[in-house]
Amino acid sequence: MKSAVILISGRGSNLRALLDAKLDLDIRCVVSNRPDAPGLEIAHTQKIKCKIIDHRQYASRELFDAALANSIDRFAPDYVILAGFLRIFTSTFVLHYHQRMINIHPSLLPAFTGLDTHTRALAAGVKIHGCTVHFVTPDLDGGPIIIQAAVPVLPNDTKDSLAQRVLTEEHKIYPKAISWLISDRIHMHGDQVLIKNTHPNATNLISPWN
């Protein structure tokens, strides 16, 4: 069985989605950089070990990342899964987990990297928005894409209504991506992600039009 440490900063809805999927995955610890993260209660309820590494207690990003890596490595996980972890890592940290760290981002990358993706999507007038699961690289939100889900942007959307529609898709595609990962179905071809044993006409894009 493959193992993982999951990092969270907030409510942990993607953590819950992964737990609800009942994946064949040994979650060895949930780590948060915020002591008040509601997602910690989800982990406690499931009797998953939790650890808090408060970034505010460290004088630099480098020191925080070193402490975080030291804590993660104590559990020797196969993968590090970011489930709403709101910190930007140093290159040293990212490269330490090369092709072992996965993130979900609330936009159709490479569009709208960084924060406030839903507000920016509405301001740009895009007609399709969504979410992306990708490997983490030193290039912010620029790692190889595993799977995406698209949603329509409706004329009366607010950032909150759009965010909720995207979040619903996040909860579908993150467990799917992790299931591919832990069953060794993901194959890297250069910077491209290929999924083994899929139908020749299958796509790594989930959309309302499929």
Residues noted as catalytic:
105
- The pairing of strands 101-105 and 79-82 is parallel
CB-based contacts of 57-60 (< 8 A; 24+ apart in sequence)? none
Distance, CA of 39 to CA of 61 (rounded, Å): 23
- The gap between the terminal CA atoms of the chain, to the nearest Å, is 32
Residue (of 32, 45, 39) closest to 86 by Cα position: 32
Nearest to 165 by CA among 131, 196, 142, 188: 131
